[in-house]
Structure 1
Amino acid sequence: MDEHSQIRAALAAFPEARIGVLGDLMADRFIYGRASRISPEAPVPVVHITHRTTQPGGAANVGNNVLSMGGRLSLFGVLGDDEAGEEIRTMLGERGAQMQGVVSIGGRPSTVKTRVVAQNQQVVRYDEETTSDIPNETRNDLLQRVVEDLPELDILLLSDYAKGVLTEDLVPRLISAAREAGVQVVVDPKPGNISRYQGADLVKPNMSEAMALFGHDGSGQARDMHGVCSQVRELAGARQVIVTAGQEGMHVLDAGGHYRHLPGLPREVFDVAGAGDSTLAAIAMALAGGADLFIAARIGNLAGSIAVGHLGVTAVRLDEMSAELEEFLGESGSPA
């Protein structure tokens, strides 16, 4: 089967994928308006609000993408007993997510990122959050809920935004339980936490996160990305690595040490917010269906290119991916 056929077959298997997503659940709020003058009180624009939206963010956005791509989602994490937490529970629950793995903690607010947007430009973002580690009792509760669901999962996806859920002692127990159950573990790590993901099947930092591991600011392209991927794999103790690089594409290193750079797909970029979540979800969905790492990465590349074409955090749909694939193949004969 040629590569194009493999990609089509992998997309066709998406509705059978059973994905568990555990990580830092958030709400992404957007306040849209018009800015036509500068405030007399301070040198800042005055925004006249026209409408507001709330969408799943962080690990919740990864889960939302799984649902939009046709997969079956079990969500795990922590939300506060507040309006934002209830909004996320309702939005994802109504879409068919299994929400039994979401724990409520009184006195700990849900993480909320609010962006003010005027004339399609982000004016400011403000965050409401608590980033201290969740209590030990909650960690044990989450672990038990994951263990109970593992027989029903193909992939356990860990989405780390460093908000205190994926703690140093919880992560090894999660990975150990998943390996014992024969479930692949896919991780979107934070640089300071990457060493806790020993034994994961795949880690997927972005370029700036990968370069931060070696004391660089992430600007510019590294000279030897094969070497960088190898070092990331060693630091993480993972089997495989994908380093995403935005419009530059992806750098992929499989378990056998085979490296490949996949160029980015040409696309007008409106907003990069949440694109990494779409990429991550698509990779996990493809792996769940048995695709090899390079096919999964190409599919993730496709999802990310669609996500950046939308304004605001978005969940990429399976039909969008299929249509985009056929359009691109028609133009170039190659998916990436």
Structure 2
Amino acid sequence: MTIDITKFNSCRILVVGDLMIDEYVWGTVDRISPEAPVQIVSVDREDYTLGGAGNVVNNLAALGAEVSVAGVIGTGTDGDRVLEKVELLNADTAGIIREPKRPTTRKTRIIAANQHVLRIDRETGRDISKTTFNALKSFVSRKIPETDVVLISDYGKGLITIPFIRYILNTAKKYGKLTIADPKGLDFSKYSGVSLLTPNQKEAGLASGIEIKDKTGIIKAGNKLLKTTGIKNLLITCGQNGMILFEQGHEPHTIKAEARQVFDVSGAGDTVLSVFGLSIASGFLFKEAAALANTAAGIVVGKLGTATVSQKELLSALKRFS
């Protein structure tokens, strides 16, 4: 595949989604607690990275895109961390709304001897306030006309409500902009009208009500979702088995994954959303975009923690296949 990745540098992407902070607590284990049959982790260091939609922004910035962000955070320290890290990526943060009394989602992962031993979540799933909703609508309406592609990163934390997603999609349609969403939940009709939906295999199986055991099951689930949800295009990610792209009027297209050692799948879906959206913004076909996203996901799962892929890494991987 001959791909000019330098086109990424001129792309303008709007990311709308649930912003999070990922905390990594690194340590060692050499004994069991006398209080309970659990390991004692002696902490060596703590790191903070962007998670959720923030990881989508991080991936896009690492690949050279111009990014604008719409989301909600709290007013505490974790919110400060999110805002600071997004600003360091030179992204437009005018659409990040700070909502009083709302916690910023934080996922704490305890890592000992390079093993993920525990995760602690601090979050809320309640809907955003009316004031926040109106502020986000105002920002989205200003940004979409000057954006190439809109990416929706839904983690079910109360931001991507049905009224908000309808507003986003209607505005995008008005200006002829493509929308790509990474879904959450069982009812994919919520995303009716998006240009492409990117569920993983488990999500597709649950949403379709079809138990997926093999490729035949994935194809049945994908075809059912196309028929019942109002979605025209679907990219189902299948982990080590690659991806399957469904486009209405076409046979399902399989993209095989390269065999590689997997250290951590955290954030792989964010990478798929980022690279697919960036590829579409660069003028590539859906099949080409899926192949690029598949390659990028293969790179990040070989890294520990929520990671990004650079243009250099992606170009190097593509050369191995050419």
TM-score range, shorter chain: over 0.9
Q: 2:227 aligns with which of 218, 221, 234?
A: 234
1:289 is aligned to: 282
1:210 equivalent to 2:209? Answer: no
> 1:235 and 1:186 mapped to 2: Cα distance?
18
Letter in 1 for 2:317: E
2:84 is aligned to: 90
1:301 is aligned to: 294
Which structure 2 residues correspond to residues 33-44 of structure 1 after superposition, within 5 A? 33-44=27-38
Which structure 2 residues correspond to residues 166-315 of structure 1 after superposition, within 5 A? 166-215=160-209, 220-315=213-308
Segments of 5+ residues of structure 2 without an aligned counterpart are none
1:142 equivalent to 2:136? Answer: yes
> 1:99 and 1:152 mapped to 2: Cα distance?
16
1:155 is aligned to: 149
> 1:258 and 1:107 mapped to 2: Cα distance?
49
1:49 equivalent to 2:62? Answer: no
1:275, 1:308 within 8 Å by CA — same for their partners in 2?
yes
1:12 equivalent to 2:6? Answer: yes
How far 1:123 moved relative to its partner? 1.0
1:203, 1:236 within 8 Å by CA — same for their partners in 2?
no
Letter in 2 for 1:110: T
> 1:276 and 1:169 mapped to 2: Cα distance?
24
Coordinate RMSD, CA, aligned: 1.3
How far 1:170 moved relative to its partner? 1.2
Question: Is the alpha carbon distance of 1:26 and 1:302 closer, same or farther for their aligned partners in structure 2, counting shifts above 3 Å?
Answer: same
1:191, 1:210 within 8 Å by CA — same for their partners in 2?
no
1:66 is aligned to: 60
How far 1:213 moved relative to its partner? 1.2
How far 1:214 moved relative to its partner? 3.0
CA deviations on 1:282-324 (whole Å, 9 max, x unpaired) are: 0000000111110000000011001101001112111111112
Question: Is the alpha carbon distance of 1:123 and 1:260 closer, same or farther for their aligned partners in structure 2, counting shifts above 3 Å?
Answer: same
2:149, 2:177 within 8 Å by CA — same for their partners in 1?
yes
How far 1:236 moved relative to its partner? 3.1
CA deviations on 1:147-188 (whole Å, 9 max, x unpaired) are: 101121011110110110000211111101111011100000
CA deviations on 1:210-256 (whole Å, 9 max, x unpaired) are: 001133565x3242433322222233312211000011000101243
CA deviations on 1:1-31 (whole Å, 9 max, x unpaired) are: xxx11xx22x231111111000111001100
How far 1:276 moved relative to its partner? 1.0
1:268, 1:309 within 8 Å by CA — same for their partners in 2?
yes
1:77 equivalent to 2:74? Answer: no
> 1:202 and 1:309 mapped to 2: Cα distance?
26
Deviates more, 1:60-69 or 1:131-140: 131-140
1:130 equivalent to 2:120? Answer: no
How far 1:193 moved relative to its partner? 4.2
1:108 equivalent to 2:81? Answer: no
Question: Is the alpha carbon distance of 1:175 and 1:292 closer, same or farther for their aligned partners in structure 2, counting shifts above 3 Å?
Answer: same
Q: TM-score, normalised by structure 2?
A: 0.97
Deviates more, 1:53-62 or 1:251-260: 251-260
How far 1:88 moved relative to its partner? 1.3
How far 1:61 moved relative to its partner? 0.5
Segments of 5+ residues of structure 1 without an aligned counterpart are none
Letter in 2 for 1:198: S
1:32 equivalent to 2:26? Answer: yes
> Secondary structure of 1:169's match?
helix
> Secondary structure of 1:139's match?
helix
2:210, 2:217 within 8 Å by CA — same for their partners in 1?
no
